[in-house]
Amino acid sequence: MLGTDGFVAAFGAPAVFMAVLAVAAGGFAKGVVGFALPLIALSMLGSFLPVEAAVALLIGPTLASNVVQGLRGGMQAARDSLARYWRLMAGLMVTIALSAQLVTALPDRVLFAVLGVAITGFGASQLLGWRPVVRPERRGLAEAATALVGGFFGGIGAIWGPPVVMYLLATGVGRVEMIRVQSLCFLAGSVVLTAAHLRSGVLDAVTVPMSAWLVVPTLAAMFLGYRVQDRLDPVRFRQVTLIVLVVAGLNLIRRAVF
């Protein structure tokens, strides 16, 4: 692939094939439930790449997939969602910009362990019947907390989806709106993360071309996932979303331990 010689020289040709599989798996899951691209892909990429390189490769696929998904319902629907959730998105962008500078300073095992335990615990508890509810009068505080936690992990690990998904599930938002808001939040964070990692050096001449090429398998797999999503009723959609959260959390714990 044009421009990927530096990546092949640094990590080997098999790493290219594995990276394509990783983003395709994440893209398919994103098409089905609206998130989990970084969760799944980072878990797979982290098994054969340094965490900095894994995060860099996800930038292009994350940015492109969120543009496509955020606009799936049209521009007007995207504007309406932005008007309702702009505080959450703004908070994510600020926190991601600040925490992205820590990606090369904090031990990745600790990060994966903390996030994995939190995600797994939330998803499993909801599958067992716990249904937290965020009341309208407390949504401002809940959005601020979501932005802080999600933005912190987004900056250091390109993973800010689970806190956003947890918040939206607790507010009881419908499936279509939930996926659109997720994607807009992810898009806002992706733009900031791209700029932050261009500055931090995580995105460089080796990782940028490969990240751009990985957009293709990501979008192809995501459109396949849409075909599954469109057949899911609201109850089944929620169950599948929680199962994906639990599996992704367990994968992060595995990465931390092994």
Q: How confident is the model at residue 33 (pLDDT cuts 50, 70, 90)?
A: confident
Q: What is the pLDDT of residue 19?
A: 96
Residue 101 has pLDDT above 80, yes or no: no
pTM for the model stands at 0.79
Q: What is the per-residue pLDDT across 149-184, written as a single tens digit (0 to 9) for each? A: 888 877 776 677 778 888 888 888 888 888 899 889
Q: Is 102 helix (H, G, I), strand (E, B) or coil?
A: helix
Q: What is the pLDDT of residue 157?
A: 66
- Residue 221 CA neighbour count, 13 Å, CB half: 25
Cβ contact 103:157 at 8 Å: yes
Q: Which of 37-41, 122-126, 129-133 has the lowest mean pLDDT?
A: 129-133
User: Terminal CA-to-CA distance of the chain, rounded, Å?
Assistant: 32
The string of DSSP letters for 51-79 reads HHHHHHHHHHHHHHHHHHHHTTT-HHHHH
Q: How confident is the model at residue 230 (pLDDT cuts 50, 70, 90)?
A: confident
**Amino acid letter, 70:** G
